[in-house]
Amino acid sequence: MNSLNTYLIISAFLFSLGLLGVLQRRNLIGMLISVELMLNAANLNFMAFNRFLTPDPVVGQIIALFVMGLAAAEAAIGLSIILALFRKMHSINIERAQKLKG
Amino acid sequence: MNDFLLFLPEFSFIIAALVFFVFSLKKTSAPALFHGWALTLAGIGLVVTVAASHQEGMLFFDCYRVDLFSQIFKILLALGTVWVVFSSNELKGIDPRQHAEFYFLVFVCTLAMMMLVSAVELLTIYVSIELSSYSLYLLVSMRRNADQYVETGIKYFMIGVTASALMVFGISLLFGVTHTTYMAKLSETLPNVIRQPAAVIGLLLTLSGFFFKLALFPFHIWAPDVYQGAANQVTAYIATASKMAAAAMIIRFTGLSSAASPDLVKLLIGLSILSMSFGNLVAIIQKDIKRLLAYSSIAHAGYILIGILSMTGRGYASAIYYATAYLIMNYACFMVIMKIAGDGHNLQIKELAGLHKRSPLLALTLMLGLFGLAGIPPTAGFTGKFLVFAAALEKGYLFLVIIGMINATISLYYYLVVIKAAYLLKPVREYAAVPVDTWTRYLSIALIVLMIYLGIFPDQFVSLTEAAARTLF
């Protein structure tokens, strides 16, 4: 039981780190990586719960695989949007992209 | 074979998406042809969805539930898609070379949201919501000549992926607490463990993914910029169809805790109040009509939540009614905007000046739509607000209802500013008359009739929504 807690603490730590990164980073690539950290924290959770609480079905492992696939698609879309932004602004700093207000 | 029939509405949209996938591979673009095809395919999709409205059953190892609740929302989604596709005949906001991709993404998004409202398994829900979000990220970024709106796409994307990361973390906690991913089993086990912090946090984080879609208070930041920065048709799609799916999912998820958690209800009440007040107060100062409607959508998310957080059958029914009324009224407003801003620019409120002379029918549609959003009888918006507040009063949330009423009054101000521009203001310079084709004329009349009919004779539809709410449990 103790080892489940270890995994949960690590995943909570990863998740908080990711959230902090999204909120605090100003570089778009950095923000994207932080989001991936949050997704991987969820993956770690799924695997740990699956291993320690429901060892028989493999639902958690399957979900982890799906999340990895979706994260890849997400990164592809995100990078394409960042690329389009970079062509127009010549920068990937989010502070340059703050014209809409009010 | 029977399973195939159950999946027919989604299947028709898969076909539509495939057709436009093939079109998007062609080197030449034919906007008029594409529009004809898209309208036909969306129309077929709507007819199939309506025809399949009374089907029931489970599909895909019980991951997918077809019942009255899901079918009503599928009809609303298909209706919204048909309307948006209908209004895309002058798709000036998007490069003609990308029109096929625009329709492709719209159909994929509709398909994903149809799967979302039927999904009763956490992984299925997650995959569907991601599919619909990915289509929307691309649609929002597609606007042409958008140097001033270039940041919109990335803002939407970043907030969206953060919300979905929160959601998947929440799902992992729910899975850990209840050891299952099926909603039916979740609703049995969750009330027993709802006192555990992990369960409450898991449920809240999961809900946050849907709050993002509905633009509810802590996740509303994207709405004004995206509404303003996306092409008019895309904004109309986000404001109408995608709100329906989010409302449906919040109804499904709050039902899980079955009122066993007073803390959750308190939190939802707080979010609802903040959402209404913030949306309405900030909307007052807006000059751009799409931005104004964005803040109004934040406020309306709060009203829908009032119905949902009552957590009674009547509350859910009222929320479904409110969502339907909101779809119709909001589309009525957006149709007028898309028609007046034929070249795809962002309409300012002062540009509406003298609209009642340029096009009386559009001015009337806009006025009724805005009256509906403000909640003035005899429109559907009034009946919707009445039902939602009545459901909340039944549970004794008097304070919430009073704040809701005050907010409805505040909102009247900025809706009336728009109506005043359309009816009373003299135009500063001469604006060209708005060309209204026959089909748009018919559609406006249909929308006007629908708004008033649903407002005066809601009985039939209310009993339908109540039947749908009963199938939830």
A22-47: pLDDT as tens digits? 888 888 889 999 999 999 999 998 88
Phi-psi region of B215 (alpha: psi -120 to 50; beta: other; left: phi over 0): left
Name the residue with tokens 């009642």: B356
Q: With contacts defined as CB-CB under 8 Å, which chain B residues touch A28?
A: 154, 158
Distance from CA of A2 to the nearest CA of B (A): 15
Domain extents in chain A = 2-96
CATH number of A2-96: 1.10.287.3510
Mean pLDDT of A44-73: 86
Whether the predicted pLDDT of B242 surpasses 70: yes
The pLDDT of residue B1 is 62
Q: Who's near B293: CB < 8 A, 6+ residues apart?
A: B227, B239, B330, B333, B334
Distance from CA of A46 to the nearest CA of B (A): 5
Rounded to two decimals, the pTM is: 0.90
Q: Which long-range CB contacts under 8 A does B24-33 form with residues at least 24 apart?
A: B24/B100, B24/B101, B24/B104, B26/B100, B29/B96, B29/B97, B29/B99, B29/B100, B31/B91, B31/B96, B31/B99, B32/B89
Q: Identify the residue with better confidence: B256 or B392.
A: B392
Contact B134 A74 (CB under 8 A): yes
- The whole-angstrom separation of Cα A37 and Cα B470 is 40
Nearest-CA residue of chain B relative to A97? B151
Contact A38/B165 with Cβ under 8 angstroms?
yes
The pLDDT of residue B93 is 76
The pLDDT of residue B257 is 66
Domain extents in chain B = 2-470
Exposure string of B347-361, with b = 16+ CB inside 10 Å and e = fewer, is: bbbebbbbbbebbeb
Percent of chain B residues topping a pLDDT of 90: 13
Tell me the DSSP string of B310-340.
T-SHHHHHHHHHHHHHHHHHHHHHHHHHHHH
Nearest to A18 by CA among A4, A42, A1, A36: A36
- The whole-angstrom separation of Cα B234 and Cα B149 is 14
Name the residue with tokens 């992209």: A97
Q: With contacts defined as CB-CB under 8 Å, which chain B residues touch A84?
A: 141, 150, 153
Residue A99 has its nearest CB partner, among B138, B151, B176, at: B151
Q: With contacts defined as CB-CB under 8 Å, which chain B residues touch A32?
A: 161
Contact B138 A88 (CB under 8 A): no
B98 in contact with A, Cβ within 8 Å: no
Alpha carbon B171 to its chain's center: 23
Contact B151 A85 (CB under 8 A): yes
- The whole-angstrom separation of Cα B241 and Cα B79 is 8
Token duo for residue B199? 């369960």
Contact B334/B402 with Cβ under 8 angstroms?
no
Tell me the DSSP string of B365-401.
HHHHHHHHHHT-TTSHHHHHHHHHHHHHHHTT-HHHH
Nearest-CA residue of chain B relative to A52? B176
The pLDDT of residue B70 is 87
Token duo for residue B171? 């799902």
A99 pLDDT tier (thresholds 50, 70, 90): low
Burial tier of B5 (Cβ tally within 10 Å: 0-12, 13-18, 19+): middle
Q: What is the CA angle B309-B313-B315, rounded to 5?
A: 40
Distance from CA of B177 to the nearest CA of A (A): 9
3-state helix, strand, coil in chain A (%, to 5): 80, 0, 20
The pLDDT of residue B285 is 85
DSSP H stretches of helix in B52-194: 68-86, 99-118, 122-141, 152-178, 183-193
Whether the predicted pLDDT of B4 surpasses 80: no
Return the SS3 of B76: helix
Contact B157 A81 (CB under 8 A): yes
The pLDDT of residue B260 is 59
B326 in contact with A, Cβ within 8 Å: no
Type of residue found at B112: A
- The whole-angstrom separation of Cα B237 and Cα B383 is 24
Mean pLDDT of B202-230: 86
Return the SS3 of B458: coil
pLDDT digits (tens, 9 = 90+) for B243-285: 888 888 888 888 776 655 777 788 888 888 999 898 888 888 8
Contact B305/B271 with Cβ under 8 angstroms?
yes
Distance from CA of A85 to the nearest CA of B (A): 7
**Alpha-carbon torsion angle B430, B431, B436, B442, nearest 10:** -90
**Parallel, antiparallel or unpaired: strands B64-66 and B57-59:** antiparallel
Q: With contacts defined as CB-CB under 8 Å, which chain B residues touch A51?
A: none
Residue A81 has its nearest CB partner, among B141, B169, B285, at: B141
Token duo for residue B143? 């606007």
Distance from CA of A4 to the nearest CA of B (A): 11
Top residue of A56, A77, A96 to mutate, by most chain B CBs within 10 Å, is: A77
The pLDDT of residue B130 is 92
pLDDT digits (tens, 9 = 90+) for B331-348: 999 988 888 887 777 788
Mean pLDDT of B389-411: 87
Residue B444 belongs to what H/E stretch?
helix B438-456
Distances (CA, A) of B348 to A16, B59, B148, B427: 41, 48, 16, 13
Contact B178/B145 with Cβ under 8 angstroms?
no
Distance from CA of B150 to the nearest CA of A (A): 7
Contact B165 A38 (CB under 8 A): yes
pLDDT digits (tens, 9 = 90+) for B118-142: 888 888 999 999 999 999 999 888 8
Top residue of A26, A34, A68, A81 to mutate, by most chain B CBs within 10 Å, is: A81
Q: List, as ranges, residues 215-244 from B with C-beta within 8 Å of A.
A: 224-225, 228-229
Nearest to B119 by CA among B173, B164, B74, B172: B74
Mean pLDDT of chain B: 85
Return the SS3 of B220: coil
Burial tier of B260 (Cβ tally within 10 Å: 0-12, 13-18, 19+): middle
Contact B354/B106 with Cβ under 8 angstroms?
no
Burial tier of B471 (Cβ tally within 10 Å: 0-12, 13-18, 19+): middle
Mean pLDDT of chain A: 85
Q: With contacts defined as CB-CB under 8 Å, which chain A residues touch B179?
A: 49, 53-54
Mean pLDDT of A76-90: 86
